[in-house]
Amino acid sequence: MNELVAPDRIQEWIPGNLTFHSGFHKNSGLEIRGYDYPELDVTIPQMRDYMIVTYEGSKALMRRRASGKYQQETVERGVVSILTRAEQSQWAWDQPIKVSHIYLSHEAINDVAGEIFERDIEDVEINDHVRAEDCILPQIAQMLKAELLKGAIGGSLLVESLRIQCCIHLLRNYAQTRFSEPPASGSFKACERRVILDFIHENTSRNITLSEMAAALNMSPYHFARKFKEEFGTPPHKFLMNDRLKNATELMSHSQKPLKVIAAQTGFSDQSHMTRSFQSSYGVTPSQYRRGLL
C-alpha cells in the first residue's frame, strides 16, 4: 500500500495559496487549513485523514472521479465536499475557489463511534461526496477558524467539543459503521490496573484522552471504558477529573504556586477550567478553597 499523505503535504498535489492552518495539538485528530486555489485539474493522493471542504467564494463547477465517468456538481457557499481517506481520485473545477479544509483522523472518528454506539467498532467508512447541502459543517469550520485566528480562554475545550461535534455529525449523516463482536466483560487484571494507574500518574500534567489510555492496554476505547468503570466504579473522565482535583488540592496545601501554574501542572486546560471544576465538585472556587486552608 502506498504511503498515506498527511494534510501538511497536500500542496504537493494541489498547488494553491495557504491562507491559514491550525495550531491544534498534533494528536488531537483534527486540523483545519485554508486555501485559495486557481482553476485546476488535479489528482488527489491517498490521504491519511478524511477531508471536509467548505466553500467561501463564488460558484464553481466541480468534477470528481475515482474510476469511470466524472461526477459533476455545482459548489458554492453553504455546501460541502467530502473526500474519503486512503483512496486516490481526480478532481477538477472551472473557477478559482476559496476553501477551508477540515481534516479528521480515522482514529478520532472510530473513537467517537465507539462511545456513541457503546459497542466496539470494527471500521467506519465515509465515501466521497462532491456536493452535500449541509448547514452544520460550514459553521464548525468558521468556529474553528475563528478560534485559530483569535484564541481565548478555554480554547482547547472548545476545539475538542467541535471535533466531537464534527465526528458525530459525520457518523449520523455520511458514515457506514461495522461493529465487532462484543469482548468479554469484567474488570482489569492486576497488571493492567498497575499499567493504567502508572500511565495516569506519569501524565498527570496534561489532558489525557480516552484513546491514549485505551492504547496503553492495547484495547479499543469502548472496551477499555467498560472495563475501567467495572474496575474503579466510575467512568474514565470522572476518574481523571477527581484525580486532577486531588492533585490540585494537594499542591494548594503544600505550596504557594499561583493557581494558573497549578492548573497547568494538574491537567486542566486553563485556570478557568479548574475554577469551574472546583465549583462543581466542592462548591467553592480554588481561591476560596486555598483561603480556607489558612
Q: Is the full-model pTM beyond 0.85?
A: no
Q: What is the distance of C-alpha 130 from the center of its chain? A: 23
pLDDT tens profile 49-74: 999 999 998 899 999 998 888 999 99
7-178 has which CATH code? Answer: 2.60.120.810
Helix and strand element counts for the chain (H, E): 10, 12
Q: At 54, is the secondary structure helix, strand, or coil?
A: strand
**What is the widest separation between alpha-carbon atoms in the chain?**
76
Judged against a pLDDT cut of 60, whether residue 20 lies above it is answered with yes
The closest of 284, 286, 278, 281 to 255, measured between CA atoms, is 286
* Dihedral angle of Cα 186, 124, 113, 91, to the nearest 10 degrees: 160
Tell me the pLDDT tens digit for each residue of 104-162: 999 899 888 877 776 667 788 999 999 999 999 999 999 999 988 887 788 888 888 99
Assign residue 206 a region (left: φ > 0; alpha: ψ between -120 and 50; beta: otherwise).
beta
**Main-chain dihedrals φ then ψ at residue 90, nearest 5 degrees:** -110, 130
Q: Is the pLDDT of residue 183 over 70?
A: no
Query: pLDDT-based confidence at 23, cuts 50/70/90?
Result: low
Instruction: Tell me the domain boundaries of the chain.
Output: 7-178, 190-293
Instruction: Please give the CATH number for the structural domain made up of 190-293.
Output: 1.10.10.60
pLDDT of residue 59: 95
Higher pLDDT among residues 8 and 123, named by residue: 8
* Contact yes or no for 35/95 (Cβ under 8 A): no
